[in-house]
Chain A
Amino acid sequence: MKKPQFSQSQKAITALRKTWMTNALFSTGIALLVMIILQTFALGFEFGSFSEWFSVWLSNWINILRNNAGIGIISLGMTLVIISGGIDLAVGSTLVAIGAVLMMLIDSGPKGILQNWGIVGFPAYLIAIVIAVIFGLILGQLTGLLVTKGKLPPFIATLGTMKIFRSVTQHFMQGYTPVVPKPFLNIASLEIGGKLLMPIIYWAVLAVVFYIISTRTAFGRQVIAVGSNERASKLSGIDINKVKRRVYAIMGVLVSVAAVVQVSRIGSMDYANAGSGYEMDAISAVIVGGTSMAGGKGTIIGTVLGTLIIAVMNNLLNLIGVPPFLREAFKGVIVIGAVLLQKKESNS
């Protein structure tokens, strides 16, 4: 009687192993779950009541999500870029450039552009945001043109624009500190039920939108096709250059959204350091989420999970008191570990 039971559990284990091996999302999800359990324990349970514990737990989570909304939004675009077989190293610098344009427009100091044109308040914010998004689109298109018309490897094209965007921004913003008007801060800091949820909402909405784009639209599937087999895609009538240009343009638009969120959350921008390292953080999130650097394989859900894994791990390290300088090392371990795991999956 024992034998069939044994083989049944064996079967369950093989089935589980198979899911683990074949479904990248499954293993990423498990990793996140483990991270969350550890983090919950690290937070501790020494509270007077459940509701007290819950409110601490909740506000900790809101903090995590809010602090990572910017990277989360950028990672969505980075996923498409990497699936298409490219990479964008310039997102941090683009963020600074767009942030600078945005702040010059809405500046409530003497040099404020829109203010000097007599546009203030809500219309000014709307115009500023629209211009920021268009600016992001143009910068993205520029990268796209370098990659398609200029036939530059995306790594090189964006390495170049990364240097150019930040350096030019720093030069022009020298000695000029725009003042962000108070109402503008509401974009990110409007409280809902006493909680600062706005950046999380933007991130969540965009994640859903990008999930739909990548799974349901012709464009989203063409991105996968181009990344998987560029030649076959071309011979199937796909305009591969158009697909690539669009991918970078969308990346630019998402960076503008991140810039709006960042400016309205902090109310200022440090042009030398803001957004620096964002490219690597976004790429890390995308990779941990199971997207292949070789292109053609990856999911938006994976990227969201990947972003969360890194975010929760940071929080965990913080809670258990790992010295700040060591935290980046753990990020490195997670990235390497995730890719080693994915390699095993694709080999099996």
Chain B
Amino acid sequence: MNLEMRGICKAFDANVVLKSVDFSLSGGEICALLGENGAGKSTLMNILGGVLPADAGEIKIDGVPVTFHNPAESLHAGIAFIHQELNLINDLAVYENMFIGREIKKKNGLLDAEQMCRETQAVFDRMSLEMDPKTMVRDLDASYKQIVEICRALMMNASIIIMDEPTTSLTGPEIERVFEMMRSLKKQGVGIVFISHKLKEVMEICSRYTILRDGKMVAEGKVADVTTDDLARFMVGHDIRTMALQRARKTPHEVLKVQNLTDKGNFRDISFTARAGEVLGITGLLGDGRSELFLSMIGAGTPYTGQVYFEDKPIRVRNTTQAVNSAIGYLPRNRKENGIIKGLNIVENGSVVTWPKLARFGFIDRQQQNRLFDTQVKNLHIKLENKTDPIGSLSGGNQQKIVLAKWLSTQPRLLILDNPTQGVDVGAKEEIYDIILNLADEGVAIIVLSSEAQEIIRVCDRALVMYHGAIQGEVSGAGMTEHKIMRLATGAS
């Protein structure tokens, strides 16, 4: 089977995501689809999988034009999409998952479990897989879950399988197991689209690559002709540092020192220091463990071993209240889930952390609350009509600034910012960068967690790059390029 996508365009309102993208795939080949976050990979595959309609362009299968209105039509045409979050039901057996939604029934209307098991077994035999169809999905490890999804796609006669970052949550041997499965599929003439950030894996398993950047196809070819360096450069587009940060380096005291921090699986053997007035970046790809690391450190995550020193004193933060009292601020990622509190109005959202300090005999000193808040509004250039309006009435950028104001009102000496510009438009982004740099000049130690290399380069003095829960390397000064960060983040050294 041959797949051809020609001139695919897609825009969400004013935001153009795909600009006339071409993509092709033949049976029996594994093609890597690469690009930074937001490059348009997922959108392209969602169009192929019938999840989204294309604005323009055509899809041909074996030369015949097709249109998919929903995932079922796409599946019917032989295209299966295995999403990053697996679609298996943990509380059902493997064979039940294989037949979910199209169960085989006996004449009396009851389920024909034996027939379903037999057919499942047949697919397993074809892939020379040894697994009991009656195993509960919850008892499978992540790689076998991935494999069950692949088998389900095969059972539905899929001849093209889209795999969206299948290896993110897998360990080394598990990845090898999935790769073996993919090679076996390849031999049977199935075409695979492999979406991944891990260039080493791409080199190992893929025969071709297609690279998207800012919604355009920028490169394609045979994997054998390129190196991981080339791929990283194609993805980023350039290896110069935009608007490089040139701040005078002082030699101030250490605020945070971390030694050999390890938890049960998210991060291991992490050691670093952060100094007053310094902006330290921590970056990496999805699943690198950076958020989990800092959540543990502020007492809101998994327990860890190792030692943290705050201002030269050993500290172990048991809960977030203690973190606040120790002058450690943590602005979480995902503003909607972790940042804003919809039941509180704007000024309350900006003051919730300081209430214990503002309270006299339990009563919030509203005058002082408003005064503090007004100062933040002025300093952060927050645009709002009435500070007692609901928080939802503000734009994303201003909401983010309110969450930032909440932390600044505690006057932290260490401020950890996780994805500080998530869901914020370009203008507000720049303003937030300025705020970060000003804070650093005032002597706050700042740690910025971000998956955007450009952001790290824009605000950080130096950055640690994490890969699979460990620090893969450090970049600073002129050595801080997107190219180098991407290389480290994908597991190269």
Contact = CB atoms under 8 A, between A and B. Distances in A.
Contacts of A216: 363-364, 366
A326 interface: no
Contact of B352 (A231, A236, A296): A236
A229 to B, nearest CB: 5
Nearest to A228: B343
Chain B CB count within 10 A is highest, among A218, A225, A229, A231, for A218
Contact of A217 (B338, B342, B362): B362
B297 to A, nearest CB: 13
A235 interface: yes
A149 B279 CA distance: 38
B364 A221 contact: yes
Interface string A209-233: 0000000111101101101110111
B324 interface: yes
Contact of B343 (A219, A224, A234, A239): A224
Interface residues of A, number: 22
B475 interface: no
A238 interface: yes
Contacts of B358: 218
Contacts of B356: 218, 237
B353 A237 contact: yes
Contact of B300 (A218, A221, A222, A234): A234
Interface in A230-270: 231-239
A105 to B, nearest CB: 31
Contacts of B364: 216-218, 221
B293 to A, nearest CB: 15
B40 to A, nearest CB: 31
B323 interface: yes
B462 interface: no
A222 B355 contact: yes
Given A218-B355, A218-B364, A222-B355, A232 B337 contact: yes
A228 B344 contact: yes
B149 to A, nearest CB: 29
A188 B271 CA distance: 67
B332 interface: yes
Given A217-B363, A227-B343, A238 B300 contact: no
Contact of A235 (B300, B344, B359): B300
B320 A217 contact: no
A235 B321 contact: no
Given A218-B364, A221-B352, A221-B364, A237 B342 contact: no
A297 interface: yes
A129 to B, nearest CB: 24
B344 A224 contact: yes
A279 B337 CA distance: 32
A235 B342 contact: no
A227 B342 CA distance: 10
Contacts of B343: 224-225, 227-229, 296-297
Contacts of B330: 235
Nearest to B364: A218
A234 B320 CA distance: 7
Contacts of A218: 355-356, 358-359, 362-364
Chain B CB count within 10 A is highest, among A216, A228, A231, A236, for A236
Interface string B338-382: 111111100010001101101100111010000000000000000
Contacts of A224: 341, 343-344
B341 A233 contact: yes
Nearest to A227: B343
Interface in A45-98: none
B438 interface: no
A235 B352 CA distance: 11
Contacts of A239: 319, 321
Given A216-B363, A227-B343, A232-B338, A221 B355 contact: yes
Contacts of A297: 343
A225 B352 contact: yes
A105 B342 CA distance: 47
Contacts of B300: 234-235
Interface in A183-229: 216-219, 221-222, 224-225, 227-229
Contacts of A233: 341, 352
Chain A CB count within 10 A is highest, among B352, B353, B356, for B352
B323 A237 contact: yes
A237 B337 contact: no
A281 to B, nearest CB: 25
Interface in B99-145: none
B406 interface: yes
B341 A232 contact: yes
23 contacts: A216-B364, A217-B359, A217-B363, A219-B362, A221-B344, A225-B341, A225-B343, A225-B348, A225-B352, A231-B337, A232-B337, A232-B340, A232-B341, A235-B300, A235-B330, A235-B332, A236-B324, A236-B352, A237-B321, A237-B325, A237-B353, A238-B321, A239-B321
Given A221-B352, A235-B300, 6 more contacts: A217-B363, A218-B358, A232-B332, A237-B323, A238-B321, A296-B343
Interface of B: 300, 319-321, 323-325, 330, 332, 337-344, 348, 352-353, 355-356, 358-359, 362-364, 366, 406
Interface of A: 216-219, 221-222, 224-225, 227-229, 231-239, 296-297
